[in-house]
Structure 1
Amino acid sequence: MDENERQRRARLRMKKRRRQVLIGRTIVALLLVILAALCVFVVRDLVGGKKDKVTPEGKATEAAAVPGTESTAAESESESAAETETEAVDVMAEAKLKAAQYDYDGAMELLKSSPDYESNTEMQQAVTDYAMAKNSLVEYPIDQVTHVFFHSMIVDTNRAFGKGAGDPTTDGLNQVMTTMSEFTQIMQSMYDKGYVMVSLHDMCNVDENGNVTRGTILLPEGKKAFVLSQDDVSYYHYQDGYGLADKLLIDENGEVKNQYTDADGNVLIGDYDMVPWIDTFVKEHPDFSYHGHKGIIALTGYNGILGYRTDIAYKTRENLDSFQQAWFEQHPDFDEAAYNKECEDAKAVADAMKATGWEFASHTWGHINVGQKSLEGIQTDTEKWLNYVSPLVGGTDVIIFAFGADLGDWTGYTTDNEKFNYLKSQGFDIYCNVDSTQYWVQFGSNVTNGGQYMRQGRRNLDGYRMYYNPEMVEDLFDAKAVFDPARPTPVPPM
């Protein structure tokens, strides 16, 4: 082989090696690129894998699982199961409360509507138990429902009675008021005797045309239905300084309580009158309330309602009485904005009360005697109540007469009773006087426009009744045992 051939072959080998080196480098480069890409994806998933991804539709979805997320999914499933269990417990508790208040239909309906009912044997057993309990109820005679009432409670007997007999306010409080000590004992006695609070609207049904028919009350054997009401829950100016509550309000827990100013000027929040006391008692004794119903509050309007100065006089400062004039002297900055705030606060309290089973009634705007007042006078008074009280309490079809008066005698309202015809036309279907007998209920018919009504007598449980007629309340409590020794005696006669 000559020299030229050897050089040619050497050049071919060099080219071959260069191609091999180039190919090898290219392969290495490609491998490095692939490896780098894989590293980027892994790092991204490790760092951001827990974030939600967005689909083309713009909806968030859970990221693909990466190592270490299995425990998070398990925790979510555990939390979901715990929430479901909590909801089931809440439903059971709510149903139990309804059943305790004799609303077995409501309890069963609540349980059956739960999404857990088909798989929850405890719920199913409760429905069976409630159905049996409902079957044991008996219908309580509507004509034997008693109706008891109070005025605002005396908290501090020293201030209420401290001025002694002869002071007009002290004498009036002694006659028609009840002390908190007496009230709590009366309610406990009635609870112990099997009494259960019902609504006037449990006693009757009112259709859209104002026709009134008998209702149905179902209670366990031995239980006794009663209606509870309270008059004049306005915290009148004349009561200032006599040891009664100032007003009702909504506390920091969203509950209706009283504001009360003690003898030293300390402002306290608590159960200082009937409404919050009953609320607390029913929490502890739910079976004292029929279907969650509580009492009915009869309101005038001339000093406002519930302790708030909501009457139009506080806005216009016109036609003020001496108490109102004195109040404005103590509150010279009370303006239209303050008046509007009083109305807002009063309405908020009324709404909160209704949400927890309370109802409202007219007690006439000016605490008038409807038996003595002319038709024109009743019309003027009713218009004021409908304008300045009704919007704050959401309206009512109940009127509880002041002074225990009435529109007619015991035989019933007739078609020629103009006062009744007028009040009926204004939407009043239920009428209550003061009768003081154990029970008195009347359903009327054949009156103007085909309308009907229910009428019920009430029993005053106050200083006068306990002192002069203790035998008239023996079915409820022992008046001599309850009577507050702080009361001046004799109680002034009416």
Structure 2
Amino acid sequence: MSRNRYERGDSGERRTRRRERGVEAGPERTGQGRDGYGDAGQGRTDYGDASQRRTDYGDASQGRTDYGDTGRRRAKRDDGRPERTERGRRRKKKRGGAAATVILILLIFIVAAGIILVASDWLGFEIPFLKAGVNQTLEQAEELAASYDYDGAIATLQSNEKYSTSTQLQEAAAEYESAKSAMETAIDGVIASAEELAASYDYQGGADLIKASPYYSASSVLQSLAAQYEESEKHKNDIDEGTLAEAETLAAMYDYDGAIELLKGMNAYQTNQVLQEKVQEYETAKAACVAINPEEVTHIFYHSLIVDPSKAFVEGDPAYAGMMQWMTTISEFDKITQSMYDRGYVLVSIYDLFTKTTAEDGTVTISPNQIYLPEGKKAYVLSLDDLSYYHTYDNHGIASKVVLDEEGKPTCEYIQDDGTVVYGDYDAVPRLDAFIEEHPDACYRGARGIIALTGYNGILGYRTDGVYSAEHNTNSDIYYADELQLKWLEEHPDFDWEQECEEAKKVAEAMKADGWTFASHTWGHKKVGEVEYDRLVLDTERWMQYVSPLIGGTDAIIFAHGEDLSPTGTYDSSNAKYVYLKSQGFDVYCNVDSSQYTTAVTSEYFHQGRRNLDGYRIYQDTISDNPMTADLFDASEVLDPERPGPVPDL
């Protein structure tokens, strides 16, 4: 470099010439090219002959013939920018080709890596640096599967991002699914075998079998069941006193089958001699029972009971005669109930006396049902009329409505003289319940009575008829609010009819759960034998609208005033009223008949006469030489001394 520099001549001289050229040429310097140096050949004389230095190219002037004189190489383009030389274009092209080559190589590398990775999955060989993540996942899954956590193993495999393309991961997952299915089948088999042992009260054997399963440590189901069996083994000889008491109650109510089933279901039964002896006792008692003829079952009935005779039996009161004739006092009811119990009477449901079979076409066929009681026991049916607590009962010493106590059992509301409200056994429903609770053998399998309801003042003390509702009160010639109803509405300005209906419905449901059933008593307390057919239809429609929905419907009608559809108590298709009532779903018909029993079971209906145990009958039997209730009680002992005198004739 130094040698060539000195050969070029004085550098200062060159700089001077350049400055002069710049000053003289000014902005046109580029246009002149390198004229300041003179001819190209001359300007490069300091280097020697150009041809000598460019021997590879030949003569300089000849080597650049494509461009002309070198001084004109950078001649301006038409647009003022210098033309690119062929050599520059070659250099640029060379650089672009190199970049494309690099990109192509990278793409080839990426594609090749992908192909290798996929091929490794397909062909089953491993590429260590690519397969490290898959292998780690497989190892983690295998550890979980070793402890029978197949769900965890499968979830681990599926969480790997390569799962969708990795046959190894997918095959491992399928293998664990199969193992899981086999485990579940094996566990089911172990449980079934253990349950067989437990069914024969070998609880410890069942627990040991479960614990021997290889899946025991991994299955919470097996662990829980084994613990349950071991606990049962500890107490299998214990007697559940509550269950034993329940069985005793069932047997006392003549439900021997229910009592036996309950005792045999106790853990201790197979090894406990006391329980086994009880079962034998119940089986012996059941075998000793005799059949009861359903046509020889008496049927008694009451109205609402009088709580305070001093308020009910007021001479001169318009209600005096009715109270004396139709009503029974609490004292009289209790004495009759006790007397009948002492004489071997057992309360049965009216539905215990027959069965109903419904064919596919809807045809109902009725047939007698056989019940069995210990020898010497006699069955009876009980019904309660007009349990609606009419407005005419107000201030006459009678309960005001049926309500539910804290345990959801039916009891009664009673309004005292000072207006205070008390609750208790103020009518037949809670009083009979209390008696049966103390004497469970007083009823057959928990039976209770059947309650006959009218509707014109509502039901059970709830004002549910349409006349109490502004929306439903049509004020027609037949259905309108009377003076007592209007007075009651005035006294209850905040009355909510919808809520009242809901309350009545809730009470009715609780009573049915307690064993009580319901029947129609006609809506308006009509005498069905005398009322015109059209009026009976209207009355029934009204009852179906405002009473039936609250009690859940019924198939029984207990005739008001005791009047029957026919003088003979038998019905056929010639009786239009019977045909109509039958079409409305009534299959059970009851009139009043003071005979000991009058029961008929036909294929189309069940008919039974009832015996009134009211003030009139009790009093009459105290003065009769042939008392009609002598089979039930001694009337002279039953008659309430608070009755003020002879009961008026009917």
TM-score range, shorter chain: 0.7 to 0.9
User: Take 1:127 and 1:139, find their aligned partners in 2: how far apart are those partners?
Assistant: 22
Deviation at 1:381, TM superposition (A): 1.2
- Give 1:61-210 correspondences, 5 Å limit: 88-114=240-266, 117-162=269-314, 164=315, 166-208=316-358, 209-210=363-364
Cα distance in 1 between the residues matched to 2:265 and 2:231: 23
Moved more, 78-87 or 472-481: 78-87
User: 3-state DSSP class of the match of 1:148?
Assistant: strand
In 2: Cα distance, 1:279 partner to 1:223 partner: 20
Q: Which moved more, 1:476-485 or 1:408-417?
A: 408-417
Counterpart residue number, 1:226: 380
Match of 2:631 among 468, 471, 475: 475
Q: Is the contact made by 1:176 and 1:464 (CA closer than 8 Å) also made in structure 2?
A: yes
Of the three residues 539, 545, 567, the one matched with 1:387 is: 545
Structure 2 match to 1:64? none
Q: Give the counterpart of 1:324 among 471, 477, 485.
A: 485
Provide the C-alpha distance between the structure 1 equivalents of 2:408 and 2:364, rounded to a whole number of angstroms: 35
The letter of the residue matching 2:245 is A
Change (3 A) 1:378 1:87: farther
Deviation at 1:120, TM superposition (A): 4.4
* Residues 307 and 78 (structure 1), Cα distance of their counterparts in 2 relative to 1, 3 Å cut: farther
Q: For 1:229-277, what per-residue CA distance to the aligned partner results, in whole angstroms no more than 9, with x for missing partners?
A: 1100001011100010011111123221101012222211100000000
Q: 1:268 aligns with which of 422, 440, 447?
A: 422
| Displacement after TM superposition at 1:293 (Å) | 0.3
1:430 to partner: Cα distance: 0.9
Provide the rounded CA distance (Å) in 1 between the counterparts of 2:326 and 2:456: 20
Residue in 2 that maps onto 1:442 = 600
Hey, what's the Cα distance between the residues in 1 that align with 2:235 and 2:431?
A: 34
Following the alignment from structure 1 to structure 2, what is the Cα–Cα distance between the partners of residues 404 and 371?
A: 10
Equivalent pair of 2:301/2:612 in contact (CA under 8 Å): yes
Relative to 1, partners in 2 of residues 1:56 and 1:307: Cα closer, same or farther, differing over 3 Å? Answer: farther
1:401 aligns with 2:553: no
Change (3 A) 1:381 1:411: closer
Corresponding residue for residue 333 of structure 1: 494
Find the residue that maps to 2:319 and give its secondary structure.
helix
Cα deviation for residue 488 of structure 1 reads 2.8
The 3-state SS of whatever aligns with 1:147 is strand
Q: Specify the code of the residue in structure 2 equivalent to 1:362.
A: S
**Aligned amino acid, residue 214 of structure 1:** P
Structure 1 contact 243–263 (Cα < 8 Å) conserved: no
* Aligned pairs for 1:20-35 within 5 A: none
Cα drift, residue 117 of structure 1: 4.1
Deviation at 1:140, TM superposition (A): 1.3
What letter corresponds to residue 523 of structure 2 in structure 1? W
Give 1:489 deviation, angstroms. Answer: 2.2
The alpha-carbon distance between structure 1 residues 212 and 353, as it changes in their structure 2 partners (threshold 3 A), is: same
Contact map agreement 1:364 1:399 (CA 8 A) in 2: yes
Alignment partner of 1:430 is 2:588: yes
| Correspondence for 2:370 among 203, 216, 224 | 216
Q: Please give the root-mean-square deviation of Cα atoms over the aligned residues, in Å.
A: 2.4
The corresponding residue for 2:93 is: none
2:120 equivalent in structure 1: none
Structure 1 window deviating more from structure 2 (388-397 vs 105-114): it is 105-114
Aligned in 2, Cα 1:232/1:124: closer, same or farther, shift over 3 Å? same
Match of 1:294 among 440, 448, 462: 448
The whole-number CA distance in structure 2 between the counterparts of 1:86 and 1:298 is 47
Shift of the alpha carbon at 1:197? 0.3
Contact 1:300–1:365 (Cα < 8 Å) also in 2 = yes
In structure 2, the partner of 1:462 is 614
Instruction: Work out the CA distance in 2 between the residues paired with 1:81 and 1:265.
Output: 60
Instruction: Determine if the alignment matches structure 1 residue 250 to structure 2 residue 400.
Output: no
Inter-partner Cα distance in structure 1 for 2:491 and 2:464: 17
Q: What's the offset of the Cα at 1:56?
A: 6.3
Q: Paired residue for 2:649? A: 493
Hey, what's the Cα distance between the residues in 2 that align with 1:312 and 1:82? Answer: 62
- Partner Cα distance (1:138, 1:124) in 2: 24
Distance across 1 between alignment mates of 2:545 and 2:272 = 52
Query: Residues 416, 168 of structure 1: CA spacing in aligned structure 2 closer, same or farther, 3 A cutoff?
Result: same
CA drift of 1:124 comes to 3.1
State the shift of 1:224 in Å.
0.7
Q: Does 1:484 align with 2:621?
A: no
**1: CA distance between counterparts of 2:229 and 2:408?**
34
1:409 CA drift (Å): 2.0
Pick from 211, 216, 239: which aligns with 2:393? 239
Residue identity over aligned pairs, in percent, reads 52
Q: CA contact under 8 A between 2:367 and 2:602: conserved in structure 1?
A: no
Question: Cα offset for 1:77?
Answer: 11
- Using the TM superposition, give the Cα deviation of residue 86 of structure 1 relative to its aligned residue in structure 2, in angstroms: 8.5
Ranges in structure 1 where 5+ consecutive residues have no aligned partner: 1-54, 59-75, 446-451
Q: Which has the higher contact order (CA 8 A, sep 6+)?
A: 1
Structure 2 unaligned residues grouped into runs of 5+: 1-150, 156-227
Could you say which residue in structure 2 is the equivalent of 1:23? none
2:611 corresponds to which letter in structure 1? R
Note closer, same or farther for the CA distance 1:81–1:493 as it changes in structure 2 (3 Å cut).
farther
Instruction: Provide the secondary structure at the position in 2 that maps to 1:213.
Output: strand
- Distance in structure 2 (CA, Å) of the matches to 1:81 and 1:309: 58
Structure ID, larger Rg: 2
CA contact (8 A) 1:210 1:427 kept: no
1:152–1:244 Cα contact (<8 Å) kept: yes
Amino acid at match of 1:466: I
1:8-23 equivalences in 2 (<5 Å)? none
What secondary structure, in the 3-state scheme, does the structure 1 residue paired with 2:380 have? strand
Alpha carbons of 1:85 and 1:264: their partners in 2 closer, same or farther (altered >3 Å)?
farther
**Partners of 2:233 and 2:487 in 1: CA distance:** 63
Aligned residue type for 1:168: P
**Does 1:310 find its partner at 2:464?**
yes
Q: Which deviates further from its counterpart, 86-95 or 306-315?
A: 86-95
Aligned length: 413
Partner of 1:72: none
TM-score, scaled to structure 2: 0.61
Q: Quick check: 303-312 or 467-476, which moved more?
A: 467-476
Residue 411 of structure 1 deviates from its aligned partner by 5.6
Residue 373 of structure 1: CA displacement?
A: 1.1
Relative to structure 2, which stretch is displaced further, 470-479 or 110-119?
Answer: 110-119
Question: Superposed, which structure 2 residues align to 1:353-372 within 5 Å?
Answer: 353-372=511-530
